[in-house]
Structure 1
Amino acid sequence: MSSSRYTFWVLILVVAIAGLSQGLSIPLLAVLLEKQGVSSVMNGLNAAALYIGMVLVSPLLEIPLRRIGYRSTILWGMLLLTVATGLIPLFSHLAVWFVLRMLMGIGDTSLHYSSQMWVTKIASPQTRGRDLSLYGLAYGVGFSIGPLGLNLLPLGLWVPFGVLLFLYAIAFLLILRIQNEFPEAIVQAEKKQNKYATVLRIGWLSLIPSFLYGFMETSLNGSFPVYALRTGLSIEWVSLILPAFVVGSIILQMPLGTLSDRIGRRQVMLACAIVGGVAFFLFPLAGENVWLMMLLLAIAGAAVGSFYSLGLAYSADILPAAMVPTAGIIAGINFGVASILAPNVNGVLMEWWEPWTMFWVMGALLVVFAAACLFAKNSKSQDTQCSLPLQKQG
């Protein structure tokens, strides 16, 4: 096995662990706060701390990535994530949890951004969709397993957190075994232009999926547990319903990535946005039927669960290689902003309106994106013409 493929598979294992960690920690903390009698609005604000950390650190991550490399950035993120997770069970004050969850967001974003950019760098253009889908698949598998850790709570508060710390230690050891690498340098000619403006001008459509995925993921994992408990569902049912979205994405993650390599990312995302939007619009009809809830979430997950990786692959298709890390920064900010908005918007909806409207909001966002995919300039030659001058410079 070549060193690049070995690195790839180590990153796949590490992101699976990171996915499991996030899949458990988000609903776990939401349930603990709900049991303490915290309002859904305050619960949402506290959950937003994770994503505030993401937004704060995202614009800065390109600096350490270029100076100390992919591996070192991942290791610093893992260290911060481990320390913050270990401190949470020691405190119960909302303000302390807010700060610790911000630190978790910073560490988690450092890990994900660096590993995503590393996978994008070592993947060949012919298999980029498949490889990034495999990355998303690994995250999805971990994320779907994560909520099952809620069933460890009866054994003691420290048990689920202890499991997370053990997994972090495994990820840390795996990362230490691979050789550090650095992203491609931006040449002087490219530094004279505003790289963010250039990325937004060329790759704006490819950056929307990260916002959508962030909004959907946080709505389901941060707000749905509160919604479910208030409608009479038990924690055990929550731990089974939540993974349905991710399990759905697992089923089609690789096929959609491979299909996008063949027929184009935009076409695949257009069709998926329509299917996902319809599934979310239909969700309120499920009522208290948990099996129908799981089916609709599985359909939505199958359609849009690979949005982040498809968007990132699309940006790598249409942008010069040296500017892909900048696109990753913007995608991370989009994800974080959406993840901050989601629990707060949903918290207000649950307090002042019908709880199921959160699903209509997600459906409406997907329909708008589908329209953008349909009417955006989609000529491959136009994308090439936009990116060629930059490619010559880089």
Structure 2
Amino acid sequence: MLTVLRTTWPLLLGVMLFMVGNGMQGTLLGIRGGLEGFSTYQMSMVMSGYFLGFLFGSQMTPIMIRRVGHVRVFAALGSMISAVLILYAAMPHWLVWAALRVVIGFSFSGVYITAESWLNASSTNETRGQALSAYMIVQMIGIIAAQLLMNTADPEGYLLFVIPSVLVSVAFTPILLSVAPAPPFAQVKRLSLRKLFEVSPLGVVGMFLMGGTFSALFGMASVWGMRAGLSVPEISVFVGAIYVGGLVAQYPIGWASDRMDRRKIICVISAVGTVAMLLAVIFSPGFAVLSVLAAVAGGVANPLYSLLIAYTNDYLDQNDMAAASGGLLFINGVGAMMGPPITGWLMVRIGSGGYFLFLVIMFGGIAGYALYRMLRHPNRIGQYPGAYAVISPAASALAVDKALKAAEGANEDDARA
């Protein structure tokens, strides 16, 4: 790991600063939107814009990289992110914010794809798994640190918009001044949706529902917090708890998934998420309990994402994994666009509890469909399932493919040992 950090620290530092900026803007907009008097549904449309842009960026960035190269794409999109973060404060109108969220989602998608290409090129076969693990860890550290920075200034002012803009601008420095050359870019093709569904119905349905889950859970958390009357420190703790729960739960669930039927784990942890969110709907608990339930939701959602990708790849040849990952991430992105609007509509109709009700429906849908698939095909799972890899929802198909292959290699090494 020390070798990995020594060779990739400029990239990892830059990515962490980008994630601080991204984590701050997501939480800050929900808070500032409430202060500006934007309605819940208007803010849901603002939050949905990010996922529309992210999906569009995942399709366009490979074309841009092939035309003008990694460095220009990285610098241009990073500059766009920095500018948008300032424009939020200068142009406080929900329609403008929605448009800016599309732009910043597009830009962050491109930045992630470019950074992951660099990381992959700078790693050897022996260090790629460690490098990708470090990449996922610094992403989570950046987002959690962003919630702490939310308490450094008044959200009604400009400073909280300036801080992430400056951090994003500074993030260029270690990456663009590093000696690592720009890597060649290999585009990842997708399997057709019909082929993906034939290979793994649970993978396709689960990833679509997970898209809605992630976009609602993370994108609407601060909007819910403002509607529920939480203070800024309480909102930052609530959002931070989601990410901490996801970070802590990934590894034990991943360990278990390599040793038993993944459908059972998907069903069980989805049911846990369903029950936890149902408790929030029925009992309207206090803030301390809500924070614990938020950690449970994050601890279910993040591993579920990795589990569904690993489960789908259990039934594919290794040469098809990258194409399948690209298709699954596209399906996830389509699902993500519907999460905030539906959550916003539920919050308007039934109050702040609509936030948790939507998560009940999403987690419950995954649990129910996984149970249905087990009952219909009780012996579908192979005796030796493929490897589980810790994967971030922000990861591109390239990173997913490399993470899975690195995990497969580690499993083979363990088996030989």
Superposition TM-score, scaled by structure 1 size: 0.78
Secondary structure of the corresponding residue to residue 306 of structure 1: helix
Matched, 1:236 2:236: no
Amino acid at match of 2:244: V
How far 1:272 sits from its partner (Å)? Answer: 2.4
Compared CA separation, residues 327 and 218, structure 1 to 2 (3 A): same
Structure with the largest fraction of helix: 1
Residue of structure 1 in register with 2:280 after alignment: 283
How far 1:238 sits from its partner (Å)? Answer: 1.4
Compared CA separation, residues 233 and 87, structure 1 to 2 (3 A): closer
Residue of structure 1 in register with 2:366 after alignment: 369
Matched, 1:306 2:308: no
Residue of structure 1 in register with 2:86 after alignment: 86
Residue of structure 1 in register with 2:345 after alignment: 348
Matched, 1:40 2:40: yes
Compared CA separation, residues 254 and 379, structure 1 to 2 (3 A): closer
Amino acid at match of 2:278: F
Distance in 2 (alpha carbons) for counterparts of 1:131 and 1:271: 31
**Contact 2:89 2:161 survives alignment (8 Å):** yes
Superposed, 1:200-219 pairs within 5 Å as 200-202=197-199, 205-208=202-205, 210-219=207-216
Larger deviation: 285-294 or 36-45? 285-294
Residue of structure 2 in register with 1:391 after alignment: none
How far 1:45 sits from its partner (Å)? Answer: 1.3
Amino acid at match of 1:44: S
Residue of structure 1 in register with 2:356 after alignment: 359
**Contact 1:71 1:175 survives alignment (8 Å):** no
Residue of structure 2 in register with 1:247 after alignment: 244
Larger deviation: 31-40 or 141-150? 141-150
Gaps of 5+ in 1: 385-394
Amino acid at match of 2:96: V
Identity of aligned residues (%): 23
Residue of structure 1 in register with 2:181 after alignment: 179
Amino acid at match of 2:150: L
Amino acid at match of 1:28: L
How far 1:366 sits from its partner (Å)? Answer: 1.8
Amino acid at match of 1:174: P
Amino acid at match of 1:303: V
Deviations 1:130-168 (A, max 9, x none): 876654443233222323333234287332222212321
Amino acid at match of 1:251: V
Distance in 2 (alpha carbons) for counterparts of 1:145 and 1:82: 18
**Contact 1:71 1:179 survives alignment (8 Å):** no
Deviations 1:286-326 (A, max 9, x none): 52510110111112222222333444455566545665554
Residue of structure 2 in register with 1:293 after alignment: 290
Distance in 1 (alpha carbons) for counterparts of 2:146 and 2:340: 19
- Give the aligned length: 378
Distance in 2 (alpha carbons) for counterparts of 1:352 and 1:359: 13
Gaps of 5+ in 2: 387-417
**Contact 2:51 2:215 survives alignment (8 Å):** no
Q: Give the one of 375, 378, 381 matched to 1:379.
A: 381
Compared CA separation, residues 172 and 272, structure 1 to 2 (3 A): farther
Secondary structure of the corresponding residue to residue 357 of structure 1: helix
Compared CA separation, residues 59 and 360, structure 1 to 2 (3 A): same
Larger deviation: 363-372 or 294-303? 363-372
Distance in 2 (alpha carbons) for counterparts of 1:44 and 1:318: 37
Deviations 1:304-352 (A, max 9, x none): 2233344445556654566555444434433433332222112211222
**Contact 1:113 1:329 survives alignment (8 Å):** no
Deviations 1:240-267 (A, max 9, x none): 2221111111212233334445557555
Matched, 1:57 2:57: yes
RMSD: 3.8
Distance in 2 (alpha carbons) for counterparts of 1:134 and 1:204: 31
Compared CA separation, residues 148 and 3, structure 1 to 2 (3 A): closer
Secondary structure of the corresponding residue to residue 92 of structure 1: coil
Deviations 1:164-189 (A, max 9, x none): 12321343233322333345578xxx
**Contact 1:215 1:341 survives alignment (8 Å):** yes
Distance in 2 (alpha carbons) for counterparts of 1:361 and 1:94: 23
Deviations 1:168-218 (A, max 9, x none): 1343233322333345578xxxx9x96555445435544555544443333
Superposed, 1:160-171 pairs within 5 Å as 160-171=160-171
Secondary structure of the corresponding residue to residue 152 of structure 2: helix
Distance in 1 (alpha carbons) for counterparts of 2:52 and 2:71: 24
How far 1:25 sits from its partner (Å)? Answer: 0.7
Distance in 2 (alpha carbons) for counterparts of 1:201 and 1:73: 36
Amino acid at match of 2:183: E
